[in-house]
Amino acid sequence: MIALPPVILFDLDDTILAYEAAAAGCWQAACTRHATDLDAPTLEKLYSAIQQQSDWFWSDEERFREGRLNLEEARRKVVAGALAAIGTPNPEAARAIATYRTALHEERITPFPGAIGVLQQLHAAHIRLGLVTNGASDKQRAKINRHNLTPFFDCIVVEGEFGCGKPDTRVFQHALRTLHATPAETWMIGDNLRHDIAPAQSLGITGVWHDFRNQGVPADAPCQPHRLIRSLTELTPAALPPPAPPTR
């Protein structure tokens, strides 16, 4: 039987909360609601153009960093670019679509099945828990408060409050200091290999990747996680495999 560590850091979105799944259909709903002067074929072109603009916008690391701190404004830029691309520029519609899409997505976000129960069990077992999340303070705190997550955590680090976000290792170092923890006694659990796992491992923290898509570690992964789980409900001593030996 494998003992859980005394300290665990968690990511929020797509680790505790099912963020990606909640996005399904949000762009289509927003376009349908706020682009009423467009016919159905043009709406389909708009949706396709939004996907292309979104892929381009979020592919750049600096745009990604700035955009996640103001998602609604980032999405407005995406929609404005998409409307221009299909020949129907409309700043008012771009803002309305982005605002509605953002609000609808936030409403639909819920915890992964069993996630809250796992946090309750870990907290009851006196494991010191930290939450480290990227994004703006208002959006992230709203989700934390909505799902009553604060009581589980001894430390919460939000990018918009702390001044920098993952993969900056200062985020993890601050959490360790706050929790009076060493890297060797700490796990980091997150869904993003580049932002959550690789920087944590660089400090000597055990990286546990939440592979919620059940895809396996990609060939071009920036790191090899120590452990892989597909649900937080696997966080029991009997369920976890032993850590992989360090690579040389």
Q: What digits encode the pLDDT tens for the residues 187-196? A: 999 999 999 9
DSSP labels, 212-233 = TT-----TT-SS--SEEESSGG
Asked if residue 143 and residue 76 are part of one domain, the reply reads no
- At residue 37 the predicted structure's pLDDT band, cuts being 50, 70 and 90, is confident
Residues 177 and 64 in one domain: no
Residue whose tokens read 């993969």: 167
Counting the structural domains of the chain, the total is 2
Q: For residue 124, tell me if it sits in a domain.
A: yes
Same domain as 125, residue 90: no
Q: Is residue 168 part of a domain?
A: yes
DSSP, collapsed to helix, strand or coil, labels residue 165 as coil
My answer on whether 12 and 116 are in the same domain is yes
Regarding whether 115 and 12 lie in a shared domain, the answer is yes
**Statement to judge: residues 228 and 131 lie in one domain:** yes
If asked whether residues 152 and 34 sit together in one domain, one would say no
For the chain, the average pLDDT equals: 93
Q: Which of 91, 108, 125 is the last residue of a domain?
A: 108
pLDDT digits (tens, 9 = 90+) for 135-152: 999 999 999 999 999 999
In a domain, 244, yes or no: no
Each residue's pLDDT tens digit, 92-101: 999 999 999 9
The amino acid at residue 145 is N
Q: Are 25 and 105 in contact (CB under 8 A)?
A: no
Report yes or no on 242 lying in a domain. no
Q: Same domain, yes or no, for 58 and 102?
A: yes
Q: Same domain for 95 and 148?
A: no
- Per-residue pLDDT for 3 more than 80? no
Percentage of the chain lying above the pLDDT 70 cut: 94
> Would the pLDDT of 56 be above 70?
yes
Domain range for 104: 20-108
7: Cβ contacts below 8 Å, ≥ 6 apart: 127, 128, 129, 130, 176, 179, 181, 185, 186, 187
pLDDT tier at 248 (50, 70, 90 boundaries)? very low
Last residue of a domain, one of 65, 89, 108: 108
Residue 239 lies in a domain: no
Q: CATH no. for residue 180?
A: 3.40.50.1000
Domain boundary among 74, 108, 142: 108
Across 48-70, average pLDDT: 96
Say what the pTM is: 0.91
Residue 1 pLDDT exceeds 50:
no
Q: Is the residue at 67 inside a domain?
A: yes
Q: Please tell me the least confidently modeled range out of 31-35, 38-42, 241-245.
A: 241-245
Does one domain contain both 125 and 176? yes
Q: Is 103 helix (H, G, I), strand (E, B) or coil?
A: helix
Asked whether residue 240 is assigned to any structural domain, the reply reads no
Alpha-carbon torsion (137, 165, 65, 33), positive or negative = negative
**Three-state SS annotation for 68-92:** CCCHHHHHHHHHHHHHHHCCCCCHH
Higher pLDDT, 33 or 3: 33
Residue 1 lies in a domain: no
Q: Express each pLDDT in 149-171 by its tens digit.
A: 999 999 999 999 999 999 999 99
Q: Quick one: 93 and 194 in the same domain?
A: no
pLDDT at 247 > cutoff 80:
no
